[in-house]
Structure 1
Amino acid sequence: MSIEGARLAGRYRITGRLGAGGHGTVYAAHDQRLNRLVAVKLLIDDPDPELLARFQREAEILAMIRHPNVVAIFDIGRHDDGSAFVVMEHLAGPDLAHLQFEAGSLNATQTLRYAVPVADALVCLHEHPTPVIHRDLKPQNLVLDGDGTVKICDFGISAVPEAMLTRLTRPGMVLGTAAYMSPEQWRGDDPDRATDIYSLGAVLYALLAGGPPLKMEGGPATCARRVNNDAPEPIVVRSPAVPPELAELIHGMLAKSPAARPTARTVRDTLHALATAAPVRPTESATDSALRVGDLLLGEHRYVEADRHFTDLAHRLRDVDDADPSARIAAEFGRVRSRFGLGEEAVAAFRLVRLVARAQAALGDDHPLVREIRAYLDTRSR
């Protein structure tokens, strides 16, 4: 039965469907009492009285949260058919999943623009007198309002552990979104603040790398083993332009052990420092690290990824006026070797000959890199 046009609690007239959450459907509605647009989440399942009481108590706690980056909860009630609903502020969107999908990936500046306020909101949630753990942070639950402010949404499976309240859950249930769930969530352990830190780390990884840290293929048991045992690919392999400090923070947030992850406050402060720091050109150590990553990819015969990696590095170094010329030559040398690996012999050979001449002019005949490139040319000429 369609609910469009219905009035909830004699006040909220449903005007359209916005989407579905973990336990219900979200609708746009007109608050006829205050003459404003709101969002109403109507629960799909009619919970038993005990769980409904928990749901209402958690809604009351969330309503006490006052933070510009947490969706505001206005009201809670029951529809005529007995279904529970919660009324929230209406957000124009899009969500960060849509932004990432449209762009492929976001750069560090764009990602930090959203990461800092989200981390600040987590500080508010985790350090509230009655702490709240979201448990389902993902790009789809980070939504922009009409001013472009990002807000954490959908507290449908949130937990309030100190109040012994977990909305619509049973002990041992595995809840969350697979690609962003922490190892302890996959094990069915009790939620903790560190759970949100892992999920936010996975979100930042996905925004920067164009996809989550681990592929969720196969059944639940396979996914659980992968999350608990497999290390994510270094983010600089998938997105070489990520600053080393940001990469280090993200991988720290993705630690398998909850105790090894930073707190929300530490994450917020580190992200804020990165976002407000003056842009810095790639350092020698960072460039050397990027070159080593490319060599590693070549050594593993991952030529497509190596070509993309060296091309990105070459473009970044080209934009730095005083970049080390040997680093620029090394990046181009990596591109040439990648092309040979891809079987593009003619194009690669032409580029290699030109690169030898360019390297000799820039670095001199006796430079170690020039000798290495000439030796590679000799090998290819045989």
Structure 2
Amino acid sequence: MGKKKEQSPKFGAPLYCASWPAGDFVLVAGGGGKKSSGIPNKIAIVQVAEGQLGEEVASVRTEEAPLRMALHPQGTSLVLALGTGMVQRFDVQSSPGAPPVLHQAKDKDRLAHFTSVKCLAFSSDGRMLALGGEDGAITVVDWLTLRVVSDMRGQNGLRDAVKDLDFSPAHKDKVLAATCEDGSCSLWAWEQQLQIAILDLPQGLEKGGAFNRCRFARDGSRGLFVTVNQRGEAHILHWEQNEEGELLLERQAKAHASASTAFDISRSGAYLGSATSEGDTSVFSSATLAPVSQTRAAHMVFATAVAFDPAERALVSVSADASAHLTPIAAQRRGISSVTLFLLLLVLLLMVVAVFWALGLDVRLQHALERFGNRPGKHGEL
């Protein structure tokens, strides 16, 4: 199941986030923070060719080191959460076969009042942008107007920094999942500014376990996938909402022998991607939580982010060691395994042998009858 590690290309700065627009170019971003570090803060545009990451074909400087990024579902905008807590927006122009072109958005000043942002996520229809704050605040912004439509903070927010956010497509993006630095995971009806559920760790994970990242299902179901780190190991939990509205634990599986540090779901919802503190990357089936593809030591140090190809051919991961790595999944999804192919060929061979043996037996029987003078007559008569 595990693949042999290939040399992961490096891009001159610690990488903390990644996105994959439609096409064969990946966006990876990071940097050294302060100018005195001498390490650039940038978004690198990297080409993918023949299942491999190529060279950096272009780059765009950022105001600070990008720590998280969210790509608009239509691929027209890119929003960054910077190391200073500020937000920076780029307009994205795409052309078939050409690298995307990024321009600093003209409405830069309208984003200046969003501070201490730690994570962000677009709704599935791209109409809303959720921002998670260092102070535990969850802010939902109308993307078209950049007007705040919901602001949950203080007693109406989380107790600690927001670690991850995701909208639920099955609930028409009216429900948000949020994980917190204190290890909790909660669900919010953000229009009412109401916390509607808090997940409990299942038996066996309640001692020392902490919720880490969260993603809602993308296939129309009311599922929620959450990673849990416990005692240096990572687990994936699949929760499902029943007809009564209760969230029930559907399935759980150990994902890694080290802590998960990055998590994402593919566009169709068929795959889950995870990467670890040891630099390992894995792709899992969302239906069974079974591993589909794995790369051990894809990075020299901890991975920081993963993102799926929209066509679901591969998973890109990035790391603080400045490297990016591609884990292919198309062969496992669309191809036929060598064992299956061998069994099919064996069955066909046995069928051919059986047919020829039967034909040979019939010829030998006719020869035997002829030797004894019993030739078959017409119309079945002897």
Larger strand percent: 2
Looking at CA atoms only, which structure, 1 or 2, has the larger radius of gyration? 2
Higher relative contact order (CA 8 A, sep 6+): 2
TM-score range, shorter-chain basis?
Answer: under 0.3
TM-score, normalised by the number of residues in structure 1: 0.23
Larger helix percent: 1
TM-score, normalised by the number of residues in structure 2: 0.23
